[in-house]
Amino acid sequence: MSRHTRRRSPLQVRLLTAGAGILAAAAAVATVTVASAGEPGGRAEASAKADHAVFVQGNELDGNSIHVFKRGEDGALTAAGRYATGGKGGDQVDAPTDSLASQGSLVYDERSGLLLAVNAGSGTVTSFQVHGQKLTHRQVVDSGGDFPSSIAVSGNLAYVMNAGGDGSVQGFRIDAKGLKPLRGSHRSLGLDNDKVPLFSSSPGQVAFTPDGRSLVVTTKSANTIEVFPIRHDGRPAHRAVVNDSAGGVPFAITFDRAGRMLVAEAKDSTVSTYKVRPDGRLKVVQRPLPNGQDTLCWLERAGEFFYGGNTGNSTVTGYRADGRGRLTLTNDVGIATPPSAKSQGVIDLAVTQDERFLYVQNAVSGTVDGFRIGRGGSLTKVTTVTGLPAFAESGMEGIAAV
């Protein structure tokens, strides 16, 4: 399809008209109380080490790259280099702000010390060894399908989700050199996309359950959550267990401390909570919880708190989970931090391993905001970096923090 004749889906039209709501959201957030930058946030206040970093995937069409930032003790970011992945970025058809329309396109694996990045335009995946803010030993492998857009890791296994064509997941073993394809692990998702998919019909994310026994994929247009039980040899069951999503347009996946699965749903900006049974069937723990915002797509956990990115009106919502897995909003208006002129087109999120800071990509403005996580889940902005690839024909997507 020609770039000049792109069709606009109802979801995209709603996104493109959402800008008028940003000023109203900013006014509403005036009632939100935020913590001071010095509050401990209820977690261990271990000092940030000199080798802490935040990685941003540029997703450039003419040559994908990883933009590296040093993270200071106060959460501030300083540019520390840029590394070519050896592949090309991609842009899904009709994508309104997020070129890859997925979560988990850039992943840091603490166990192996590898940073894994998709090259959607090349059908490849790149791994780097991470040494502080330096990336070394680049390796590029075929993704096993068209338009790779999400990666999941568990132990020495990595699975890549390919969004193009019929959609697929492909397994890899992780070793000291990078990724090695796992023979017999390729599974189709049974979609009907072009090689470059329409953003609203592409799958949203691939994720392992915390015990590593199941691989989960969200499909937006099919409105399903598909679960592949993982065998002892690391290969998935031949067919996924297909579960209807409790909410409309399931997108991002994360898990609470007890292993319950939370799914962000873009249609009505809701989050549903599930228990993943060993046979791949889902039990609904909490029905869709709305946040009052516009087009929730991304969702990440920080201890007992969760943060969601609402790309339609450029806000971030905070949630808190109790011991039974029940979610509530951290404030009445559903906005944990006010939008700003430099924070337009909120997309992907990353939480540091010490759970002290949250970093948010803003695709339209080409910026990343950093926030200290305070008591009660409040967010205080501590840094903004500019000059990253802003969304146009494509734009940055994918962020990881260590």
Does residue 3 lie in a domain region?
no
Distance CA 149, CA 385 (A): 24
- Cα 394 to the chain's mean position, in Å? 17
pLDDT means over runs of 10, the chain (402 residues): 39 45 38 34 42 96 98 98 98 95 98 97 98 97 98 98 98 94 98 96 97 98 97 97 98 97 98 97 98 97 97 96 94 89 96 97 97 94 97 95 96
CATH number at residue 316: 2.130.10.10
Whether the CB-CB separation of 7 and 94 falls below 8 Å is answered with yes
CA dist 142 to 86, 100, 379, Å?
12, 18, 39
Does residue 5 lie in a domain region?
no
C-beta atoms surrounding 139 within 10 Å: 16
Distance CA 73, CA 87 (A): 33
Does residue 369 lie in a domain region?
yes
pLDDT at 50: 61
C-beta atoms surrounding 325 within 10 Å: 18
pLDDT at 164: 98
Distance CA 318, CA 19 (A): 21
pLDDT at 343: 94
Q: Domains in the chain: how many in total? A: 1
Write b or e for each residue in 339-377: b if 16 or more Cβ atoms lie within 10 A of its Cβ, otherwise e. bbeebbbbbbbbbbebbbbbbbbbbbbbbbbbbbbbebb
Q: What is the pTM of this model?
A: 0.89
Does residue 1 lie in a domain region?
no
DSSP for 338-351 reads ---TT--SEEEEEE
Distance CA 400, CA 114 (A): 11
Does residue 202 lie in a domain region?
yes
Question: How many helices (H) does the chain have, and how many strands (E)?
Answer: 2, 29
pLDDT at 207: 98
Whether the CB-CB separation of 129 and 136 falls below 8 Å is answered with yes
Does residue 300 lie in a domain region?
yes
The H or E element spanning position 270 is strand 270-276
Does residue 4 lie in a domain region?
no
Does residue 32 lie in a domain region?
yes
C-beta atoms surrounding 130 within 10 Å: 23
**Residue-range definition of the domain harbouring residue 380:** 10-401
Q: Which residue has the tokens 């509530």?
A: 328
pLDDT at 337: 87
